[in-house]
């Protein structure tokens, strides 16, 4: 959000955020009319309701502000509200996918990887496609590959390799923010969806991913080290099509490997690396 907005512009943005919040609230009420925070065992339902509570609190704070004398505080509150709404929208998408799988009798494995427990490729593609269709959110698509994973499999066997993949998946998940998504793409490859906040947000997330995953893994009384190579593509800067975004991120990941591995590269230009 730009600083020093005039009061009319602030009012317009304020009303826009409030309208989005109201639509989300109505959507949740239509989807989950019987959810009770104190009694629900559904983790996603709890997260939805906690986000709603936070949005309501921020909205009340906005309503109590004096637009003429407290512009800085208003700007901070609006920024926080926007992030919470984005996070909430993502949680709603997760719930819709799981609900749809239950209706079709597909169950948990329809959208989750059986080895790591992460969302699977089908789920990830559906989320990204829905964001592209909405054309409202900027985001990063990250392609993640475990460096030299074949060496682990060849040295210790596939069962041990599967245990390493599960541990890597947990670390990747822990390195991301609430609302971001990581999924298993296949084999030793993962993909992540990272919502854009500002131009400086990507680097610390990538650094955290690389750092947390390079620490030793203690598995079956053995200590192993693995690193990651990461490739990043940005929507809509690099493409407005999912297939092209994933290709650009994949190309950037291979560039990271060629430059020494254990690093990340961002795609550049608009037609290829």
- Asked if residue 52 lies in contact with residue 25, where contact means CB atoms within 8 angstroms, the answer is yes
Q: How far apart are CA 236 and CA 209, in angstroms?
A: 23
In a shared domain, residues 211 and 148: yes
User: Is residue 53 domain-resident?
Assistant: yes
pTM reported for the whole predicted model: 0.67
Q: Using the predicted structure, report yes or no on whether residue 59 has a pLDDT greater than 70.
A: no
In a shared domain, residues 134 and 75: no
Q: Where are the beta strands (DSSP E) in 47-154?
A: 139-146
217-219/189-195 β-pairing:
unpaired
Q: Which two tokens stand for residue 161?
A: 């390799």
With bands split at pLDDT 50, 70 and 90, how would you rate the model's confidence at 271? very low
Chain-centre distance for alpha carbon 260: 26
In a shared domain, residues 222 and 255: yes
Q: How far apart are CA 230 and CA 159, in angstroms?
A: 25
- Which has more pLDDT, 230 or 58? 230
Chain-centre distance for alpha carbon 36: 26
- CATH number of the structural domain spanning residue 126: 3.30.70.270
From 35-39, 123-127, 175-179, 260-264, the region with the lowest mean pLDDT: 35-39
From 32-41, 54-63, 252-261, the region with the lowest mean pLDDT: 32-41
Mean pLDDT of the chain: 79
How many domains is the chain partitioned into structurally? Answer: 2
Domain that holds residue 241: 121-266
User: Is residue 273 domain-resident?
Assistant: no
Chain-centre distance for alpha carbon 202: 12
How confident is the model over 8-24, as pLDDT tens digits?
766 666 666 656 655 55
Q: Mark whether 188 is an active-site residue.
A: yes
In a shared domain, residues 25 and 81: yes
Q: Which two tokens stand for residue 164?
A: 């390493």
Candidates 113, 145, 188, 250; catalytic one: 188
User: Is residue 1 domain-resident?
Assistant: no
User: Is residue 272 domain-resident?
Assistant: no
Q: What pLDDT shows up at residue 254?
A: 96
Q: What pLDDT shows up at residue 273?
A: 43
In a shared domain, residues 75 and 186: no
In a shared domain, residues 158 and 234: yes
């Amino acid at each position: 959000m730009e600083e020093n907005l005039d009061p009319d512009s602030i009012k317009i943005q304020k009303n826009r955020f409030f309208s989005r919040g109201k639509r989300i609230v109505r959507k949740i009420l239509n989807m989950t009319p019987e959810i009770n925070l104190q009694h629900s065992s559904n983790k996603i339902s709890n997260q939805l309701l906690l986000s709603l509570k936070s949005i309501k609190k921020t909205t009340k704070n906005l309503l109590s502000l004096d637009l003429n004398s407290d512009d800085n505080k208003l700007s901070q509150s609006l920024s926080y509200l926007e992030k919470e709404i984005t996070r909430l929208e993502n949680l709603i998408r997760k719930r819709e996918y799981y609900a749809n799988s239950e209706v079709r009798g597909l169950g948990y494995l329809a959208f989750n990887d059986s080895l790591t427990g992460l969302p699977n490729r089908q789920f990830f593609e559906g989320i990204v496609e829905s964001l592209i269709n909405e054309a409202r959110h900027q985001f990063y698509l990250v392609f993640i590959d475990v460096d030299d994973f074949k060496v682990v499999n060849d040295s210790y066997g596939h069962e041990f390799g599967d245990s390493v993949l599960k541990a890597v998946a947990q670390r990747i998940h822990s390195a991301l923010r609430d609302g971001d998504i990581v999924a298993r793409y296949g084999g030793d490859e993962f993909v992540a969806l990272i919502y854009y906040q500002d131009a400086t947000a990507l680097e610390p997330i990538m650094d955290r991913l690389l750092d947390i995953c390079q620490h030793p893994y203690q598995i079956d009384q053995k200590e192993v080290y693995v690193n990651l190579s990461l490739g990043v593509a940005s929507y809509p800067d690099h493409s407005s099509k999912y297939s092209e975004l994933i290709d650009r991120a994949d190309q950037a990941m291979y560039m990271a490997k060629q430059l020494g591995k254990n690093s990340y590269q961002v795609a550049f230009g608009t037609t290829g690396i």
